[in-house]
């Protein structure tokens, strides 16, 4: 059995709200979904590892029982709680204090537009997807600032993969220092998203920037209703961008046989992608039954092809 999934939404009883896109509002959402719960909904079972409340900086850790015990830090870039302020995040394998990262991932940066009132977080004790939309009349989010991201453990092919905790919002191999409306996971996956700095599975401090997830076909952002190809769903595999099986890992083993940097590292947990985009004329949030389980449609800027399992992940 996999880990149970909880869906948190802005319209739940007692849910925290977005009003002007302040860092404090995002941190409140994360705290209540990951750590404390709200209303009748229990939290996912993460913990707050470190926090500096006056500067709007906090680090969360996923479950050490169900997950890798990885960390992610969110913070206001200037320590201020202003409307639509830029926010940074960084995942890592360990922390001894705020801003002290062990096996640090890529720094990513985003902001939440004041129009982004509708948020959804779907996750488990090991990982979560966070998404925003400025309307409920369509899953298409167009060009307004509001990220979609994954934070947590990938569904790895390697038992006890020590490098499986990541954060992914956009395709980059270097630290980001600006925000943009295209910094959305489902937008970047259109063109093969690069997952910056995946550390070796055996816990070594070596890492590579070659792991990617394949792009998806986008027919049009304006496709309405359900179309025939929507029945074709596939997992989103994380694999090496170098297709040559002669590539060696740090131990001199070909990636086809490597247990530290295998060619196929795993997949995004609980997600299926449809081969085409659709439903642009439907209201959002939107659920679809796939293989007897409900899947939640991630809002998209250009494409709406990510479907998130609402029952269990990490099978």
Burial of 160 (0-12, 13-18, 19+ CB in 10 A): exposed
pLDDT beyond 60 at 221: no
Structure confidence by residue, pLDDT tens digits, 126-176: 999 999 999 999 998 887 788 899 999 999 999 899 999 999 988 888 899
Sign of the four-CA dihedral 27, 211, 239, 139:
positive
Looking at residues 300-313, what average pLDDT do you find? 90
**Residues near 73 by beta carbon (within 8 Å), at least 6 away in sequence:** 50, 57, 58, 59, 60, 89, 90, 92, 95, 98, 99, 101
Residues 176, 107 contacting (CB under 8 angstroms): yes
Q: What is the helix (H) or strand (E) element at residue 26, kind and residue range?
A: helix 23-31
Looking at residues 109-118, what average pLDDT do you find? 94
Residues 307, 298 contacting (CB under 8 angstroms): yes
Q: What predicted TM-score, i.e. pTM, was given to this entire model?
A: 0.95
The maximal CA–CA distance of the chain, rounded, in angstroms, is 55
pLDDT band at residue 227 using 50, 70 and 90 as cut-offs? low
Computed over every residue of the chain, the mean pLDDT equals: 91
Structure confidence by residue, pLDDT tens digits, 174-200: 899 988 777 788 776 556 678 889 999
Task: Please count the other Cβ atoms lying within 10 Å of the Cβ belonging to residue 143.
Answer: 10
Cα 136-193-170 angle, rounded to 5 deg: 55
> Where does 62-196 show beta strands of DSSP type E?
71-76, 87-97, 100-104, 108-110, 118-123, 127-133, 149-153, 155-156, 165-168, 193-194
Tokens read off for 5:
């999934």
Measured between alpha carbons, how far is 169 from 156 in angstroms, rounded to an integer?
19
Q: What pLDDT, on the 0 to 100 scale, is given for residue 224?
A: 67
Task: Please count the other Cβ atoms lying within 10 Å of the Cβ belonging to residue 12.
Answer: 16
Task: Please count the other Cβ atoms lying within 10 Å of the Cβ belonging to residue 13.
Answer: 8
pLDDT band at residue 218 using 50, 70 and 90 as cut-offs? low
Q: What pLDDT, on the 0 to 100 scale, is given for residue 229?
A: 46
Measured between alpha carbons, how far is 182 from 179 in angstroms, rounded to an integer?
9
pLDDT band at residue 118 using 50, 70 and 90 as cut-offs? very high
Q: How many helices (H) and strands (E) does the chain have?
A: 2, 23
Picking from 24, 86, 29, the residue whose alpha carbon sits closest to that of residue 56 is 24
């Amino acid at each position: 059995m996999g880990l149970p999934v909880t869906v948190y939404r802005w319209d739940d009883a007692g849910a925290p709200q977005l009003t002007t896109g302040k860092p404090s509002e995002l941190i409140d959402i994360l705290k209540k979904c990951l750590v404390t719960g709200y209303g009748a909904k229990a939290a996912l079972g993460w913990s707050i590892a470190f926090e500096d409340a006056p500067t709007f900086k906090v680090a969360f850790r996923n479950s050490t029982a169900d997950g890798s015990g990885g960390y992610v830090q969110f913070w206001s870039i200037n320590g201020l709680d202003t409307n639509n302020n830029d926010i940074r995040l960084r995942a890592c394998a360990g922390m001894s204090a705020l801003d002290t990262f062990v096996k640090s991932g890529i720094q990513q940066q985003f902001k939440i537009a004041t129009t982004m009132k509708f948020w959804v977080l779907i996750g488990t004790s090991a990982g979560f997807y966070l998404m925003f939309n400025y309307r409920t009349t369509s899953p298409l989010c167009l060009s307004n600032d509001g990220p979609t991201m994954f934070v947590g453990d990938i569904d790895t092919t390697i038992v006890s993969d020590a490098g499986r905790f990541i954060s992914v919002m956009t395709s980059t191999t270097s630290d980001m220092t600006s925000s943009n409306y295209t910094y959305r996971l489902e937008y970047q996956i259109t063109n093969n998203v690069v997952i910056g700095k995946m550390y070796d599975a055996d816990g070594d401090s070596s890492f590579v920037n070659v792991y990617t997830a394949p792009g998806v076909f986008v027919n049009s952002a304006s496709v309405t209703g359900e179309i025939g190809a929507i029945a074709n769903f596939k997992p989103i595999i994380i694999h090496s961008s170098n297709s040559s099986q002669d590539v060696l890992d740090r131990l001199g083993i070909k990636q086809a046989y490597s247990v530290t940097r295998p060619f196929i590292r795993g997949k995004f947990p609980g997600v299926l992608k449809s081969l085409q985009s659709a439903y642009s004329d439907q209201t959002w949030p939107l659920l679809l039954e796939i293989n007897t389980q409900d899947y939640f449609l991630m809002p998209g800027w250009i494409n709406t092809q990510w479907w998130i399992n609402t029952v269990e992940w990490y099978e």
